[in-house]
């Protein structure tokens, strides 16, 4: 199983917030941590594969993920983030666990299309559930994809775009 995270050098510290609990989980479950970013991420005591983010392979790289991570600190800067990382995972049917902060409340319906967590214990419990249950991963992933299609797709927002064009024109 692959637990994955995607980000940049500026957000890499966020995934590092989870390393202690991922190490603990690694004692009970076999998984790989796929980090898509700078390509030089390491973490002692974990099976890590680190690859550089590339526009040309972004979708295929993300498709390798079985469980998507979106950890965030509860800081003012984070409150302005859009939830894009969760949306990217969800659009591919990847069950996502995200910190319960900011836009994530709009993007994820907790325990339906993903998980919103507030503590290390909640991160651990949600990861453990998803690592142990392929049917749950599939169900949450399917509902995540449906949510993105319903609320965030071009088709779902076509009238909004058209109204903007009409107003400008």
pLDDT tens digits, one per residue of 92-150: 999 999 999 999 999 999 999 999 999 999 999 999 999 999 999 999 999 999 999 99
pTM: 0.93
Look up residue 111 and give its two tokens.
């325990």
Q: Are 39 and 7 in contact (CB under 8 A)?
A: no
Q: Give residue 78's pLDDT.
A: 83
**DSSP-derived 3-state class of residue 29:** coil
pLDDT tens digits, one per residue of 41-96: 999 999 999 999 999 999 999 999 999 999 999 888 888 888 999 999 999 999 99
Q: Give residue 138's pLDDT.
A: 98
Question: Among 70, 69, 64, which residue's Cα sits nearest to residue 51?
Answer: 64
Sheet order of strands, 67-70 included: 48-52, 32-37, 2-6, 67-70, 96-99, 115-117
d(CA 154, CA 71): 27
Which residues lie across from 69 on neighbouring strands? 97
Is 38 exposed, middle or buried (CB count within 10 Å of its CB: 0-12, 13-18, 19+)?
middle
């Amino acid at each position: 199983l692959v637990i994955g995270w995607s980000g940049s050098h500026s957000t890499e510290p966020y995934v590092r917030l989870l390393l202690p609990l991922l190490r603990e989980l690694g004692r009970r479950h076999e998984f790989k941590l796929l980090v898509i970013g700078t390509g030089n991420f390491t973490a002692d005591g974990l099976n890590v594969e680190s690859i550089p983010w590339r526009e040309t392979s972004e979708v295929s790289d993300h498709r390798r993920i079985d469980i998507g991570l979106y950890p965030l600190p509860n800081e003012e800067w984070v409150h302005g983030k859009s939830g894009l990382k969760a949306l990217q995972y969800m659009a591919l049917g990847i069950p996502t666990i995200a910190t319960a902060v900011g836009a994530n409340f709009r993007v994820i319906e907790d325990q339906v299309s993903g998980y919103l967590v507030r503590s290390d214990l909640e991160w651990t419990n949600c990861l453990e559930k998803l690592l142990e249950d392929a049917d749950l991963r599939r169900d949450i992933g399917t509902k995540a994809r449906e949510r993105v299609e319903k609320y965030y797709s071009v088709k779902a927002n076509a009238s909004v775009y058209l109204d903007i064009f009409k107003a400008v024109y």
